Amino acid sequence: MRSTTRRFTMAVILMSALAQNAPAVTATGGTVTNIGGYVIHTFTSVGVTSLNVTVGGKIEVLVVAGGGGGGDALAGGGGAGGLIYSNNFVVSVGSTNITVGAGGAGAAPVATAGGSNGGNSVFGPLTAFGGGGAGGWSTVSPQTGGSGGGGIAGGAGAAGTIGQGNAGGDGGPTGVNYPGGGGGGAGGVGSNGTSTVGGTGGIGINLPQFAGIAGDTNFPAEAWFAGGGGGGAYLAGGAPGNGGNG
């Protein structure tokens, strides 16, 4: 697994330009890109907007919520925003409401703070829940979310939402380095902290059909979404964990 860390807060709608035995779905809204016979409408600005459908039908839709914020001091990693994907979603003529959730705030630089949850992202009836904020110091527990936040040293990670993400990892043992657990990702749970290293964030999900709008130039055939944040560690030779792909 690569150690590359990327963050996305986005709702993406991928629509086929050629539908069998039916007119192609057409709509306006978002940033429109034409790639390989598909028309892709991308929404990345935090807030409320809409997709205005003029010809309805089946589409491919990806909704990703905002990721959770990291904790402060002996902290876990933030959980990835919830991810919902469908390749058989039906839209009707009219306006479909969209909300793009913001990433959660990282903890304030005080010894008893955890991260905040990310904001929900919405596409019509689909709601992806924001990632869980990480636990912090020795008293602030991680939060549940699309994927759960990583636990503090000696504490458990938080749960994710079934169908959208996974749990955060548990914190490592208390002692010299106090490593936190990695935040959960859409494709896997966050790793537990060890005696010396914070847990790695849970892996995201690779959806290569979106590589043309969200890919990494070093890996042009891949497009990873919703990886968890790496857990933190204290001094004396400890090391923070890597974030998950996505």
Length of the chain counted residue by residue: 246
Rounded CA-CA distance 187/80 in Å is 10
Give tens-digit pLDDT for 32-87. 888 777 888 899 899 999 999 999 888 889 999 999 998 877 789 999 999 999 98
- Two tokens, residue 47: 């807030």
Per-residue pLDDT of the chain (246 residues; tens, 9 = 90+): 222 222 233 444 445 444 444 567 889 999 888 877 788 889 989 999 999 999 988 888 999 999 999 887 778 999 999 999 998 899 999 999 999 999 998 887 766 778 899 999 999 999 999 999 998 877 889 999 999 999 999 999 999 999 999 999 999 998 778 899 999 999 999 999 998 889 999 999 998 888 877 767 777 778 899 999 999 887 654 444 444 444
Q: Is the dihedral of CA 156, 100, 212, 51 positive or negative?
A: positive
Calpha distance 77→240 (Å, rounded): 9
Residue 9, CB-side half-sphere exposure with 13 Å CA sphere: 21
